[in-house]
Chains A and B, each alone.
Chain A
């Protein structure tokens, strides 16, 4: 029994760390299907601004969302480091545009500082917790909140 409890406490979650502007965000690796380079996006008319359009991912049509616009930041600046993170949730795919992908980190659940709902402001509305990696802080994205309208 004691062993079980201790594993629960020491549960490790892997996050892909991405950079948007000056900040680092973590995306739970279990949602990620793929990471692709920036490619031509077909605009879709009459959709919210954060939906940039659709891309062709090996024969599948996948919508792409700009995390910057979703989080009320400046418009994306496409560089050679820009990546699209493809998430797969119940077979439905969606891509998230990020400035660059940094690394994969393993965080112990115990080390994650939860962000309560009261403390969530505009920008942090999509952050469910803060992880520490050495000196730097990683805002862990609440994927469900990001994908909600």
Chain B
């Protein structure tokens, strides 16, 4: 079978299952008795195995199979969850991720058998008291064992009044009534199809009266490894069972003469059932069956429905490229709209012009709405990225031998897909940094009267047109003096400069390339490639990062990201006859300044504005162009803010606010740092986008 066309789906779904397993096993570590968690793990492992099998990845299948075995024993309670076992399971997940990565690269699972892990899994399996020997070839052994306990399974088949009627009629006709349980092989992939063949085989010899689970559920494959039937037939039991067993991938079929119970007895099956449940292997026990056997049939129905609902994911997977195309079309539309706006300003004033303007305003609201909805489609919760962090912190706890706990809020905060894809690594760096450098060792914490368990917080929330992600720890904080010494040692500044610099300036050195203060180079962080990489990554996403710290109390890294990258609100300005766009995000005010108010401080031009001293940046000088204003004319100054810093950009003229589409300039033009891209204006002209942050 050619399965390559399913490869993408396989990769996506396997990733989801692995993430799910990671989360659930973490939960299991906290609460080893939680049945829901265990069941969820079992289901995920089972699906993984099935998927790997279908795709023909034998090694992956073997590993997941053995993992599933362990979970199944945990489910029955014959193995207790313990720390080494959790460790092994995490290692298995890592191994599966490796397989997946290999498959993604080479469309092949590679040749790592992960022998030690499989041995370890089997050792765990065999450690459960030895009452049942489980060899590697488990599939062949289980059916026999199941058969012994399953012979009574068919007794639970519920009999509706009309079924009783059928049974009575059939008995009157002299037919035999059999109850039987059919067990499907564990490796069987198309269970519903096998069940269908079983039904077909039986119908050649007799008639199926009732099934457990219902025929619909069997058809939808909502059963695990067995299903039970009540059958009427003229033939002998052995013949019917034989026909069933002939269907391939059927492990076994057992049955007996079905005796119709007394009316009163069917209404109160509790008397029989509990003893049966105890002897049954839960491995093959349909999960939904437990409540069913005890409860009245009427209660069972809604319960099943909720289960089915959870499985149904009401989403559509869309290729990000298709969304990009859609996004580009919306961009084009906005450009076209802008050009209509600019040509309409010519016609304004006339009677025709007003009607035209109304239409344009209407078009404007439509394009804005369209833009917003396309943006929303591209938004994904950061959950998919931050989900892997609890696991990482757990591993770090062991590696660094520090006790710590991660608290996350705002996982549902949404960001543009492209941003979410890129934000994982910087966040991971920051968390590792907090765990390694931020938090003190357990002994130090106790000595300082802090809780021995360190806390790391990851909070995400939306703030206007930005999303803020904070990584906070209650550790040692950053020692500005230690950084100061390091700065001198590393020749980042002289001793005098270091002594004169403010703590904030000193701490911002941490984001400089090649500056790492960890005393030891550890596996976790401290290669000097942490924070500067974080900074450049965040900046490449048009975001910013800052740090706040208090010695002895902890530090907070604050990342600020724009909600969207492609379309922004910008202020259009003219400098020396050229048009430029400045993102509206950083702009505080626009001021009209008399050149006489400009003072010189340390040979830099500044202005006093409402009590603060603001340095001036003359854009004509920065952009290598002649200003068209006379020196004694009043200056137009755009006040921009970056963090706590303000600066005034001197421009020639203001055009106004406009929605602009950011276009890449291609890789052949090595644009300078403060040009973040280009945009196409309504008249087809190009304006460059100035990054005010890079200018300050």
* A contact residues vs B (CB 8 Å cutoff): 40, 42-48, 51, 54-56, 59-63, 65, 92-94, 147, 149
Contact A42 B678 (CB under 8 A): yes
Q: How far is the CA of A59 from the CA of B332 in the complex (A)?
A: 7
Among B668, B671, B680, B687, find the residue whose CB has the most chain A CB atoms closer than 10 A.
B668
Q: How far is the CA of A47 from the CA of B666 in the complex (A)?
A: 14
Contact B685 A44 (CB under 8 A): no
Q: List 21 A-B contacts (CB under 8 A).
A: A42-B678, A42-B686, A43-B625, A44-B669, A44-B671, A44-B688, A45-B623, A45-B675, A47-B671, A51-B668, A54-B665, A55-B686, A59-B332, A59-B335, A60-B663, A61-B663, A61-B664, A61-B665, A63-B669, A93-B666, A94-B668
Which residue of B is nearest A89, CB measured?
B668
CB distance from A47 to the nearest CB of B (A): 6
> Is chain A's binding surface mostly helix, strand, loop or mixed?
strand
Contact B663 A92 (CB under 8 A): no
Q: Known contacts A42-B678, A51-B668; can you find 17 more A-B pairs with CB under 8 A? A: A42-B685, A44-B671, A44-B675, A46-B672, A47-B669, A47-B670, A48-B670, A51-B669, A54-B678, A54-B686, A55-B686, A56-B680, A56-B684, A61-B665, A63-B665, A63-B666, A92-B667
Which residue of A is nearest B680, CB measured?
A56
Q: How many residues of B contact A (CB 8 A)?
A: 25
Which residue of B is nearest A52, CB measured?
B669
Q: Which residues from B are CB-within-8-Å of A60?
A: 663
Among A40, A43, A92, A94, find the residue whose CB has the most chain B CB atoms closer than 10 A.
A43
Contact A56 B665 (CB under 8 A): no
Q: Which residues from A are CB-within-8-Å of B664?
A: 61
Contacts known (A42-B685, A44-B688); A94 close to B671, Cβ less than 8 A: no
Which residue of A is nearest B665, CB measured?
A61
Contact A61 B675 (CB under 8 A): no
CB distance from B346 to the nearest CB of A (A): 20
Q: Which residues from A are CB-within-8-Å of B625?
A: 43, 45
Q: How far is the CA of A47 from the CA of B675 in the complex (A)?
A: 11
CB distance from A56 to the nearest CB of B (A): 5
Q: Which residues from B are CB-within-8-Å of A92?
A: 666-668
Q: Which residues from B are CB-within-8-Å of A93?
A: 666
Which residue of A is nearest B664, CB measured?
A61
**Top 8 A-B pairs ranked by shortest CB distance?**
A63-B669, A46-B672, A42-B686, A94-B668, A61-B663, A45-B623, A61-B678, A92-B666
B624 adjacent to chain A (CB < 8 Å): yes
B489 adjacent to chain A (CB < 8 Å): no
B578 adjacent to chain A (CB < 8 Å): yes
Q: How far is the CA of A56 from the CA of B678 in the complex (A)?
A: 10
Contact A65 B623 (CB under 8 A): no
Contacts known (A51-B669, A61-B664); A43 close to B578, Cβ less than 8 A: yes
Q: How far is the CA of A46 from the CA of B675 in the complex (A)?
A: 10
Q: How far is the CA of A147 from the CA of B668 in the complex (A)?
A: 7
Q: Which residues from A are CB-within-8-Å of B685?
A: 40, 42, 56
Q: Which residues from A are CB-within-8-Å of B671?
A: 44, 46-47
Contact B678 A65 (CB under 8 A): no
Which residue of A is nearest B336, CB measured?
A59
Contacts known (A40-B685, A54-B686, A56-B684); A62 close to B624, Cβ less than 8 A: no
Q: Which residues from B are CB-within-8-Å of A63?
A: 665-666, 668-669
CB distance from A80 to the nearest CB of B (A): 20
Which of B626-683 touch A at CB < 8 Å? 663-672, 675, 678, 680
Contact B678 A46 (CB under 8 A): no
CB distance from B320 to the nearest CB of A (A): 16
Q: How far is the CA of A138 from the CA of B215 in the complex (A)?
A: 80
Contacts known (A59-B332, A61-B678); A42 close to B668, Cβ less than 8 A: no
Among B332, B623, B669, find the residue whose CB has the most chain A CB atoms closer than 10 A.
B669
Q: How far is the CA of A61 from the CA of B625 in the complex (A)?
A: 22
Q: How far is the CA of A60 from the CA of B578 in the complex (A)?
A: 19
Q: How far is the CA of A28 from the CA of B688 in the complex (A)?
A: 32
Q: Which residues from B are CB-within-8-Å of A62?
A: 666
Q: How far is the CA of A73 from the CA of B332 in the complex (A)?
A: 39
Contact A47 B672 (CB under 8 A): yes
Q: How far is the CA of A44 from the CA of B663 in the complex (A)?
A: 14
Q: Which residues from B are CB-within-8-Å of A147?
A: 668
Which residue of A is nearest B675, CB measured?
A44
CB distance from B304 to the nearest CB of A (A): 51
Q: Which residues from A are CB-within-8-Å of B622?
A: 45
CB distance from B578 to the nearest CB of A (A): 7
Which residue of B is nearest A46, CB measured?
B672
Which residue of B is nearest A39, CB measured?
B684
Q: Which residues from B are CB-within-8-Å of A51?
A: 668-669
Among A45, A54, A147, find the residue whose CB has the most chain B CB atoms closer than 10 A.
A45
Contacts known (A42-B688, A45-B675, A56-B686); A61 close to B680, Cβ less than 8 A: yes
Q: How far is the CA of A116 from the CA of B195 in the complex (A)?
A: 75
Q: Which residues from A are CB-within-8-Å of B665?
A: 44, 54, 61, 63
Q: Which residues from B are CB-within-8-Å of A149?
A: 670
Q: How far is the CA of A20 from the CA of B299 in the complex (A)?
A: 87
Q: Would you give the 0/1 interface string for B166-194, flagging 1 where the beta carbon is closer than 8 Å to chain A?
A: 00000000000000000000000000000
Which residue of B is nearest A147, CB measured?
B668
Contact B672 A61 (CB under 8 A): no
Contact B666 A42 (CB under 8 A): no
Q: How far is the CA of A149 from the CA of B669 in the complex (A)?
A: 10
Contact A59 B686 (CB under 8 A): no
Q: How far is the CA of A16 from the CA of B688 in the complex (A)?
A: 32
Contact A42 B578 (CB under 8 A): yes
Q: How far is the CA of A47 from the CA of B678 in the complex (A)?
A: 15
Q: How far is the CA of A117 from the CA of B684 in the complex (A)?
A: 43
Q: Which residues from B are CB-within-8-Å of A54?
A: 665, 669, 678, 686
Which of B6-33 touch A at CB < 8 Å? none
Q: How far is the CA of A69 from the CA of B575 in the complex (A)?
A: 26
Q: How far is the CA of A33 from the CA of B687 in the complex (A)?
A: 24
Q: How far is the CA of A87 from the CA of B682 in the complex (A)?
A: 26
Which of B237-282 touch A at CB < 8 Å? none
Q: How far is the CA of A44 from the CA of B665 in the complex (A)?
A: 10
CB distance from B129 to the nearest CB of A (A): 63
Q: How far is the CA of A51 from the CA of B623 in the complex (A)?
A: 15
Q: Which residues from A are CB-within-8-Å of B623?
A: 45
Q: How far is the CA of A43 from the CA of B577 in the complex (A)?
A: 11
Among B622, B624, B665, find the residue whose CB has the most chain A CB atoms closer than 10 A.
B665
CB distance from B685 to the nearest CB of A (A): 7
Q: How far is the CA of A48 from the CA of B688 in the complex (A)?
A: 17
Contact B624 A61 (CB under 8 A): no
Contacts known (A47-B672, A56-B680, A59-B335); A94 close to B666, Cβ less than 8 A: yes
Q: How far is the CA of A40 from the CA of B681 in the complex (A)?
A: 13
Q: How far is the CA of A147 from the CA of B622 in the complex (A)?
A: 27
